[in-house]
Amino acid sequence: MAMTDPTVRRATVDDIPAMARIVTDWEKATGWMQSPYTHEEITGFIRDAFDAREIWVAGAPVEAYLSYDPETGRIGGIYCARPGKGLGKALMDTVKKGRTSIWLHTHVPNEAAQRFYKREGFVEVSRHDGDLHDKIREIRMEWSA
């Protein structure tokens, strides 16, 4: 059952540990993502990007977050602790407001995310080799208003 009207707000630095935990738990649960980074390193990455990104969180306590780079128009990450509860949709609706286009990368094995992005109006535009750290093929997807 979808959650109704989840709380979405701008993240604060106090949310960083919860966001890092969501990423770490997601990576462990995938079965195909073998991240070389520790929980502490992921926490540091989020902290380092915090001021340059528009980061939104959903749920109280935080159960999902989305990181958006306003300079490039790219969603750098969207993670939900409990998919299917409407949190990802609420975050996506929030970041789309007032924008005409957004792009992101998703991993080829992440079929659930691809289905979600397609429902949100994103279309696949290319495929390419993944980052140096995970080497998992990625799909570039774009949304236009």
Query: What is the secondary structure of the chain as a DSSP string?
Result: -PPSS--EEE--GGGHHHHHHHHHHHHHHHSS---S--HHHHHHHHHHHGGGSEEEEETTTT-EEEEEETTTTEEEEEEESSTTSSHHHHHHHHHHTT-SEEEEEEETT-HHHHHHHHHTT-EEEEEE---TTT---EEEEEEE-
Q: What is the pLDDT of residues 124-144, one digit of tens each?
A: 999 988 765 667 889 999 999
**Proportion of the chain above pLDDT 90, given as a percent:** 75
Residues 6+ apart with CB under 8 A from 31: none
Helix 16-30 vs helix 39-49: crossing angle, to nearest 10: 130
Angle at the Cα of 54 from the Cα atoms of 82 and 69, rounded to 5 degrees: 100
Taking the C-alpha atoms of residue 124 and residue 13, their distance in angstroms, rounded to an integer, is 33
pTM of the model: 0.88
Quote the CA–CA distance of 43 and 56 in Å, as a whole number. Answer: 16
pLDDT value at residue 133: 62
- Confidence band for 28, pLDDT divided at 50, 70 and 90: confident
Cα–Cα distance measured from residue 68 to residue 104, given in angstroms and rounded to the nearest whole number = 9
Q: Write down the domain spans for the chain.
A: 8-144
Residue 27 scores a pLDDT above 80:
yes
What's the CATH architecture for 8-144? 3-Layer(aba) Sandwich (3.40)
Mean pLDDT of all residues in 104-126: 95
